[in-house]
Amino acid sequence: MIEAAKIWNEPNNKSHWDPNLDPEWDLFANMTRLAGQAIAAENGGLTRVLGGMSPIDPHFLKRLEARGVMDHVDVVAVHGFPLDWNLWQIDEWPAKVDEIAAVTDKPVWITEVGVSSFGSEEVQAWGVTKTAELLVGKVPTIHWYSLYDLPKTWEATTRHKEAEGSSYYRHFHMGLLREDGSPKPSLEAYAPHAADMGLCQWFHFEDHRLDEAVAWMKRLGVRKLRTGLSWADSFRPDADRWFDRQMEALADFDVTVTFCFTPEHRGIEPHHTSPPQVAEEFAEFCASMVRRYAPASAGRAAFAAE
């Protein structure tokens, strides 16, 4: 079932929101207010999550609060990768959560935390165990990123490019499973914590890994999953068919579904990080996905009804 709807992903990270087009996050704030209102109008009991901050920045949160955003979300999410990209140590995780808790009365979730195996698979396994030690019980919801390595023939959705060396290539080594589906040592380290530390796994359009991923998560005893429904993908032919298949396959998990990524033809500029030309269009996409997959009047969506 869907337990939460997350509005965007890492909005204070220019990999996912263009600061040149919205330097003070005014456009993001307006879009988030409208999306929060639209989600609540469809299902007032659905938890609304503010897209995970990366970097973790209380000043960013206070800026959004001043623009009225916090009246339309129920949870604040943060992302952190201290062994790979952040300029702080893994032992600082509890303090980073406390920084955000000090400036909001909303619950704090960690909707992406991970360690790459780029340098060492053994270091990644240690990172799983250390992360669970630091964070299980500290926050109500944690999503480890991720189940699968990113296939090397795909492109990472990030500002980092090949010329920046390991900063880019680390994106391809975040999984508990290698690209071919074989387990890394980190899978064994994760297994004892699967019920308490969920997973974040993005599924690309018509992703060939979906069924195998579901089987692995059930075998591990995963309860909570974070994934995404892309506004950009919604304009592909047969998008609803793929969305239906994805959400039906994930129906046995407590899903946080992320709504993000601007279609090129709907952005101020033709890029997925662009603010939309019309914020109400993104809000309607959020509303339509809630109507389809998390309607207030039914225990589960009847996907084939439309």
Residue-level pLDDT at 167: 78
Domain 2-305: CATH class, spelled out? alpha beta
> Alpha-carbon distance 79 to 145, whole Å?
10
Q: What is the pLDDT of residue 169?
A: 72
Cα–Cα distance between 62 and 74 in angstroms, integer?
15
Give the Cα separation of 16 and 34 in Å (integer).
Answer: 19
Q: Give residue-wise pLDDT tens across range 18-27.
A: 999 999 999 9
Q: Is 227 helix (H, G, I), strand (E, B) or coil?
A: strand
Return d(Cα 37, Cα 160) in angstroms, integer. Answer: 34
The predicted-structure confidence for 228-283, as pLDDT tens digits, reads as follows: 999 999 999 999 999 999 999 999 999 999 999 999 999 999 999 999 999 999 99
Domain boundaries, the chain: 2-305
Where do we find the tokens 């991923």?
A: 213
Q: Would you state the pLDDT for residue 163?
A: 57
Q: What is the pTM of this model?
A: 0.94
Determine phi and psi for 18, rounding to 5 degrees. -80, 110
pLDDT score, position 154? 65
Q: What are the residue ranges in the chain where pLDDT is below 70?
A: 153-165, 298-306
Q: What is the pLDDT, as a whole number, of residue 156? A: 64
